[in-house]
Amino acid sequence: MRSEGYELGSDIVGMLIVGRAADRFGAPRISAIWFALTAAGHATVPIRSHPENRATAVGWTSGMGRFGAVG
């Protein structure tokens, strides 16, 4: 992903912060906020990318969502 221009360091830090927030404020509340922000991010995907990349992004996102549901 780095070869495509994505920076991964901020994602890892973000997940650690969200994990701490979920412990402090409750997982359902933080999950709702996280999903709302993800939806807002998805809304900008058609503006920024080609159709081939959109399909890949949606596939990865739904795959990670399923992975999180199992864990």
In the chain, where the domains are located: 2-70
- Structure confidence by residue, pLDDT tens digits, 34-59: 888 888 877 776 666 677 777 777 77
Residue (of 62, 53, 56, 15) closest to 34 by Cα position: 15
pTM of the model: 0.50
pLDDT at residue 26, rounded to an integer? 93
The residue type of 4 is E
| Neighbouring residues of 18: CB distance < 8 A, sequence distance ≥ 6 | 30, 34
Phi-psi domain of 5 (left: phi exceeds 0; alpha: psi -120 through 50; beta: other): left
Please give the Cα distance from 8 to 6 (Å, whole number): 6
**Would you give the DSSP letter of residue 26?**
-
